[in-house]
Amino acid sequence: MYQLTSRQFFEKQLPTLLKAAPPADLKGVVEFTIEGDGGAVWWVDFSQKTVTMAGPKAPKFAALVRAQERDFVALVEGRMSPADGLVTQRLHLAGEAVAIAKLAEAIGKIAARAS
């Protein structure tokens, strides 16, 4: 059973983490689509350190992240590594190769800090 919800992560934990130090040198907005109960779509700009719930006007995204609520929480709580998430297809990343590599690294860092 997980401790956190994705909403808590995006509304509270991630803004704090970003304020302390952005975990990725990633330009542009990343869309996180969290599916299942409690899920929502979030837009995160790592360089501007902003987290918002998806709005009506979609920007051009630098990368896309998609996971089920439970898998995403497991990811940010460090119970599932990005590599395992990708191999098992519980985590889907889309984007340019460098951006994806940075994003996977950033998720790893977030998990380390969060735990």
Q: Is residue 63 close enough to count as binding other proteins by CB under 8 A?
A: yes
Instruction: By CB under 8 A, name the one of 1, 3, 37, 97 that touches other proteins.
Output: 97
Strand partners, 50: 45
* Chain-centroid distance, C-alpha 20: 16
- Nearest-5° angle of CA 31, CA 99, CA 12? 45
> Shortest CA distance to 70 belongs to which of 40, 42, 35?
35
Instruction: By CB under 8 A, name the one of 18, 34, 73, 100 that touches other proteins.
Output: 100
Instruction: By CB under 8 A, name the one of 9, 18, 26, 31 that touches other proteins.
Output: 31
Q: Is residue 96 close enough to count as binding other proteins by CB under 8 A?
A: yes
Nearer to other proteins, 19 or 60 (CB): 60
DSSP string, 58-72: ---EEEEEEEEHHHH
Where does this chain bind other proteins (CB under 8 A)?
Answer: 31, 56-58, 60-64, 66, 86-87, 89, 92-98, 100-101
